[in-house]
Amino acid sequence: MATKANLVIDQGTDFSTSITLTDDDGDAIDISGYTGAGQIRKYYTSTTAINFTVTTNASGVVTLSLSSNTTNGIEHGRYVYDVELTDGSGLVSRIMEGLVTVTPGVTR
């Protein structure tokens, strides 16, 4: 089951957030060799998506990021997102999902 987390992204700024995946004992899960993908969409059925850059490491850390150029192009408002990891055998797991609020920028 995916972790539910709502994100706030400031329009026109670099964005980054991380989640550490742990087992039932609280130990980090080795996710080296996994690939990640994550998208933001206005609605679940939207055909237009903004792709997160997703990185993983052996310490169980998954990092999502967007450049300031990317966030500058997102209209302020509410969106939905999720993040999936794929292991070496092709098994896909959703690890995170929720709402994204993009706050408008003032500085140009």
Residue range(s) defining the domain that contains residue 65: 3-103
Residue 108 lies in a domain: no
pLDDT (0 to 100) of residue 8: 98
Q: How many domains does the chain have?
A: 1
pLDDT at 1: 65
Predicted local confidence at residue 58, as pLDDT: 85
Average pLDDT estimate for 58-81 = 96
53 lies in a domain?
yes
Q: Is the dihedral of CA 31, 34, 35, 40 positive or negative?
A: negative
Of the chain, the percentage scoring pLDDT greater than 90 comes to 86
103 pLDDT above the threshold of 90: yes
The answer to whether position 88 is within a domain reads yes
What is the CATH number for 27? 2.60.40.10
Taking the C-alpha atoms of residue 85 and residue 64, their distance in angstroms, rounded to an integer, is 12
